[in-house]
Amino acid sequence: MVYQVYLRSFADGNGDGVGDLAGLTARLPYLSDLGVTALWLTPWYVSPMADGGYDVADYRDIDPVFGTLADAADLVAAAHAHHLKVIIDIVPNHCSDQHPWFRAAVAAGPGSAERTKFWFRPGRGESGELPPNDWPSKFGGSAWTRITEPDGSPGEWYLHLFAAEQPDFNWDNPAVRAEFVDILRFWLDRGVDGFRIDVADTLVKDSALPDVASLAPGARLPWEDQDALHGIYRSWRALIDSYPGDRVFVGELWMKPLPAMRPYLLGDQLHTAFNFDFLGAPWEAGRLREVIDGTLDAIGAAAPWVLSNHDVTRHLTRYGRASTSTRWQPDAGPADLALGTRRARAAILLMLALPGGCYLYQGEELGLWEVEDIPAELIADPIFERTGHALRGRDGCRVPLPWQADAPGFGFGPADGTPPWLPQPREWRQLAADHEAGDDTSMLALYRTALRLRAALAAADDASPGDNRLDWLDSPAGVLAFARPGLQAVVNLSAEPVALPQHAEVLLASGPLDAGLLPPDTAVWLSRG
Ligand code: GLC
């Protein structure tokens, strides 16, 4: 049960308005009470923050805005004392344009060994004024930026699949491979329990850099050479396994169809990956069932489930829209937050009833919604500028957490500190952690109870190892009903109340039952009759 901490927005210990390690360490009791067993921290490295820390300038130190190496050591020790594992984000696809290797590459000039650690190429056109190929940046615009050479002349272009401040490494270069093994070792030596690999599937590029437009329809994209990744991940896994203790190795695979995940999960590579099919599925029984079956068929007990993360519209808001599968769009339409809340309550009971591991994204346990009215001048996500303001990007799911209903900034930082780096909606007073902690009907109470119950059921299930089955039960259209060891879960995604299957008792419900019937957008856990 992994809880994702988006560090900048979790808790501010030093009063500068930005979340940090001291803030996180102070809030560990909350996470351990919640019932999670591991934390995944978004990047804590030295970074100019052009992409919230996913632009790393020094992989072996902590950014001063987050703290110091000593704070990181304190956090790891304190987390372990709370029986929480610490998984850190590793960003191997690209670094920051302020990374010493990239600066050296720019300074060293065309044809230098330094430039072979990245993808530098001359431009096309008469005077090299056009990008070397047609690859798009995933944040909008071209994936190429032209540099000025040290002598002041317009120079080569470099590849960046994301922002221009994030030059892509060339993974064909053995120096890059060796560097990352060394970085992993650096952090393993400091006691971290695992790694989440950022954009795990795009490291290796086809060095011919063919135009995308020249590819046959359906051909693999030239930055998605999955085969070449096996050797890399196999060697990382061997390194991780050489350290004592159980360690976790998670890959971020962006919206891949499930079969494409298989190669990473052969046993000697990643332990698991994110299930973006589940995250992207609409609130619709047929599609959810298809994704659940597809996931279990593909990877069985290693199945990972996730509803939200720091890159997508919070699921509470998605589920309140007319189109519930929308991740983020300029015209996604208004959200009915009451409906979204009801569905989010049902969705967490669905997810936590499934076999396998789950990821929670900070704030979902409080019922936070996507903040869609952040003033344009405060938007920090590079997507906003790179798309010419067509997309507002991901800041709406990164708004600092409300901890205390009656404190300035809802207790995100010290009372006399700088306000949180993004403004929090006034209505979040009701969603502050201290407010919800005293309310049995709150989202937080539901998460705590469900996580506790899930752990108890899993512990009981250990008596019959291997029983990771999920048996679908007969149910009316629009209803998901399945049996698991010790439990039946029923989720009503239809518009009508439905009768419950035969059961001994109601263990937990996401909302009140209606004369014994399960209302729409409500889920229930039953003990088996
Ligand atoms: C991943 C991260 C995202 C980041 C991008 C580039 O998708 O989750 O936040 O912007 O990679 O590093």
Could you tell me the pTM of the whole model? 0.96
Q: Residue 20: exposed, middle, or buried by beta-carbon count in 10 A (0-12, 13-18, 19+)?
A: buried
Q: Which atom of ligand 1 is nearest to the CA of 91?
A: 12
Answer yes or no: is the C-beta of 168 below 6 A from any ligand 1 atom: no
Residues ≥6 apart with Cβ < 8 Å to 391: 140, 328, 329, 330, 383, 384
Q: How confident is the model at residue 255, as a pLDDT?
A: 34
Q: 51 in ligand 1 pocket by Cβ < 6 Å? A: yes
**Amino acid 271: pLDDT:** 78
Any ligand 1 atom below 6 A from CB of 380: no
Q: What angle do CA 513, 518, 520 make, to 5 degrees?
A: 110
SS3 476: coil
Q: How far is CA 114 from CA 69, 117, 169, in A?
A: 28, 6, 11
Predicted pLDDT of residue 295: 86
State the pLDDT at residue 229: 84
Measure CA 96 to chain center: 20
Q: How far apart are CA 369 and CA 450, in angstroms?
A: 20
**Dist. CA 136–CA 271, nearest whole Å:** 31
Continuous H helices in 462-504: none
Ligand 1 centroid, distance to 328 Cα (angstroms): 15
- How much distance in Å is there from the Cα of 185 to the middle of ligand 1? 23
Closest CA to 226 of 264, 195, 268, 176: 264
User: Which pLDDT score, from 0 to 100, does residue 68 have?
Assistant: 98
Q: What is the pLDDT of residue 458?
A: 84
Of 59, 195, 254, 311, which is best to mutate to test ligand 1, by the most ligand atoms within 8 angstroms of its C-beta?
Answer: 311
Burial class (CB in 10 A: 0-12, 13-18, 19+), 524: buried
What spacing in Å lies between the alpha carbon of 220 and ligand 1's midpoint? Answer: 21
pLDDT of residue 259: 44
Q: Which two tokens stand for residue 510?
A: 């996401």
- Asked whether 278 lines ligand 1 (CB < 6 A), one says no
Q: How many residues does the chain have?
A: 529
Low-confidence ranges of the chain (pLDDT < 70): 252-267, 328, 330, 462-468, 529
Report how far ligand 1's centroid is from the alpha carbon of 7 (Å).
14
Question: 357 C-alpha to center of ligand 1: Å?
Answer: 22
Q: pLDDT for 205-252, tens place per residue?
A: 999 999 999 999 988 889 987 778 888 988 998 999 999 888 877 776
Ligand 1 contact, 139 CB (< 6 A): no
Q: What residue spans of 4-68 are helical by DSSP H?
A: 21-26, 28-34
Look at residue 230 in the predicted model and tell me its pLDDT.
83
CA dihedral 162, 168, 172, 175 (to 10 degrees): -150
Instruction: Supply the residues annotated as catalytic.
Output: 198, 252
- In this predicted structure, what is the pLDDT of residue 258? 42
Pairwise CA distance, residues 186 & 59, whole Å = 9
pLDDT of 53-101, one tens digit each? 999 999 999 999 999 999 999 999 999 999 999 999 999 999 999 999 9
| Tokens 């000025």 -> residue | 148
Q: Is the CB of 114 under 6 A from ligand 1?
A: no
